[in-house]
């Protein structure tokens, strides 16, 4: 994955619990044949663990980076069912999604466990995509900003500047995930601007301007351009619409045009 300029747009697909290794390989081969050799955006895909190796192989030498969907904080040990950062390194995985709301909702993930995973990921050379976002109840109770603030403060606690430099954040309002109910560009921008201001407080202005903030939640080709036109939206984390290669390619292509 290229790191040529500050806040180069970034389009990532999170496949969640979809696709076998064979399906992943076929998809990645298809996508790489559609992409230009040097797209104007960074592109990543996050297959489930069993499909990572096939995806890395199919993506080798292409602009597509492969991400895992989680990582454990210990490097090895008696932790049944977990996968460590060195195991992901060994496969050639470059990135990892941490703290997705589905992990928080169904698997007890907290800001504290996010923080441990994040530190391990970075110290093992994995680039983290840390997800934050409020639930519908929290938004309706007027708690959006305080929820985001806590997720940032606790999830990123104790991060030094060098580590923060590697960070990508994804704002994924839970009410917009898999619901077809996308945040309007204005709502997304408002949250992203808040997050960027908090990053200034937590780190400094230079870092806050460097860290990419992706939006996730019912992103599709129809709404990508309007979302990416917002000043603090630096890309998208795409769920459902990343499962079909032609649809995901369209989103990447729109990202390239917005950037052009
Ligand atoms: P959808 O695009 O399916 O709403 O999912 C978003 C998401 O959770 C990406 O991580």
Of 127, 125, 130, the residue nearest 113 (C-alpha): 130
**3-class SS of residue 98:** strand
Confidence of residue 237 (pLDDT cuts 50, 70, 90): very high
For residue 169, list its beta bridge partners. 130, 213
Active site residue 100: yes
How many angstroms separate the CA atoms of 51 and 72, rounded?
Answer: 18
Query: Does residue 71 contact residue 120 with C-beta atoms inside 8 Å?
Result: yes
Q: Is the pLDDT assigned to residue 2 strictly greater than 80?
A: no
pLDDT band at 260 (very low <50, low <70, confident <90, very high): low
Buried b (16+ CB within 10 A) or exposed e, 117-127: bbbbbbebebb
Q: Which of 53, 100, 134, 149 is catalytic?
A: 100
Residue 217 alpha carbon, nearest atom of ligand 1: 4
Find the catalytic residue in 94, 109, 134, 172. 172
Q: Is the pLDDT of residue 4 over 50?
A: no
pLDDT tens-place string over residues 108-146: 999 999 999 999 999 999 999 999 999 999 999 999 999
Percent of the chain with pLDDT over 70: 98
Q: pLDDT for 31-90, tens place per residue?
A: 999 999 999 999 999 999 999 999 999 999 999 999 999 999 999 999 999 999 999 999
* pLDDT score of 53: 98
User: What is the mean predicted confidence (pLDDT) over 238-246?
Assistant: 98
Rounded distance between C-alpha atoms, residue 120 and residue 126, angstroms: 8
Can you give the pLDDT at residue 3? Answer: 36
pLDDT of residue 198: 98
Q: Is the pLDDT of residue 224 over 80?
A: yes
| Beta pairing, strands 168-171 & 95-98 | unpaired
- Name the residue of 44, 240, 243 to mutate for ligand 1: max ligand atoms within 8 A of Cβ: 240
Provide the pLDDT for residue 182: 84
Q: What number is the average pLDDT over the span 236-255? A: 98
Tell which residue, 65, 166, 70, has the closest CA to residue 122: 166
Among protein residues, the one with the nearest Cα to ligand 1's atom 2 is 239
């Amino acid at each position: 994955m290229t790191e040529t300029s500050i806040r180069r747009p970034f389009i990532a697909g999170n496949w969640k619990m979809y696709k076998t290794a064979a399906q992943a390989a076929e998809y990645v081969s298809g996508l790489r044949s559609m992409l230009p050799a040097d797209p104007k955006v960074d592109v990543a895909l996050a297959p489930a663990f069993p499909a990572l190796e096939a995806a890395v192989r199919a993506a080798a030498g292409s602009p597509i980076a492969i991400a895992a969907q989680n990582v454990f904080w210990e490097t090895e040990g008696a932790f049944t069912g977990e996968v460590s950062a060195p195991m992901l390194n060994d496969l050639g995985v470059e990135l990892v999604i941490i703290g997705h709301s589905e992990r928080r909702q169904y698997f007890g993930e907290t800001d504290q466990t996010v923080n441990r995973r994040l530190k391990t990921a970075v110290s093992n050379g994995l680039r983290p995509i840390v997800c934050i976002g409020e639930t519908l109840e929290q938004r309706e109770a007027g708690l959006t900003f305080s929820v985001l603030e806590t997720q940032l403060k606790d999830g990123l606690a104790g991060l030094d500047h060098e580590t923060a430099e590697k960070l990508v954040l994804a704002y994924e309002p839970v009410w917009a995930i898999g619901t077809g109910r996308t945040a309007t560009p204005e709502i997304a921008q408002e949250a992203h601007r808040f997050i960027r201001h908090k990053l200034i407080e937590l780190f400094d202005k230079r870092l806050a301007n460097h860290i990419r903030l992706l939006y996730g939640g019912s992103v599709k080709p129809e709404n990508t351009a309007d979302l990416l036109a917002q000043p603090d939206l630096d890309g998208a984390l795409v769920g459902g619409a990343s499962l079909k290669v032609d649809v995901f390619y369209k989103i990447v292509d729109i990202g390239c045009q917005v950037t052009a």
